[in-house]
Structure 1
């Protein structure tokens, strides 16, 4: 019983430390996060050709996603490809990290994969979320159409029964 009490006290101390850290972070505001974001943004050489191609790819993928919003099968293919791109991001980060001298002026590919997460996985996840929201709206519209057809069918059956 004493061991359980000591474990619970340690857990409560850890929770109190986490709450204290969170509250101090919230009191400091968004300024540190903004400073980190700006530091990240300015550390990247945006004129590198491969980065321009990566950004163009994401813009193209977004345009294809928006323009094909009525084609559910194609959207599901895009959804699966986007999620596969996120799934293989760690392997891609390792591959690009070992070969960065061939295409970049500096090594953006750290062991944590922050750069690739922000510029590769992030936009792919945004595209996947857009496809998911579009699919949910399509399903809602399909359910409404189905229910209307069911109600019309029931009304037709009731009219036929009365006649």
Structure 2
């Protein structure tokens, strides 16, 4: 296959159009990302598991440069074309971006959970204050009724 003429690439969309998505390793990459999104979804109510998943995702993003270097070195063993450039655009698009979207979803989930907890805590506080006020009012009524009986 001929190398990609970089002068024809004018933006991200034209860059993605030059990729041969029928390469078998893209199916594996897609499956990997789908598993990562599934784990994110399935662990949404388990904060500790999700925190570990979050750290793993960030470590995978951090390792993108090393993965890019290895892939650039051994691309012919798994791909029809050499996509792995020295600036890392391709690895950023197909590897890091989906992982970072995953981490963004996790952070948004944590913010939602935190806001729900804050609302619940506020409601409990209001409810406790009402109970306390009702208890004081009942105590005052008992004292008044006791004074009336004593008179």
Task: Select 1:123's aligned residue among 98, 117, 124.
Answer: 98
Task: Select 1:80's aligned residue among 55, 60, 63.
Answer: 55
Report the count of equivalent residues. Answer: 130
How far has the Cα of 1:42 moved from its partner? 2.4
Partner of 1:136: 111
Report the secondary structure of 2:114's partner residue.
Answer: helix
Which structure 2 residues correspond to residues 3-18 of structure 1 after superposition, within 5 A? Answer: none
| 1:49 has 2:24 as partner | yes
| 1:38 has 2:13 as partner | yes
Report the secondary structure of 2:11's partner residue.
Answer: helix
Partner of 1:61: 36
How far has the Cα of 1:148 moved from its partner? 0.9
CA distance in 2, matches of 1:64, 1:131: 11
Q: What TM-score does the superposition give when structure 1 sets the normalisation length?
A: 0.73
Whichever structure has more helix as a proportion of its residues is: 1
How far has the Cα of 1:39 moved from its partner? 2.4
Which is further off, 124-133 or 48-57?
Answer: 48-57
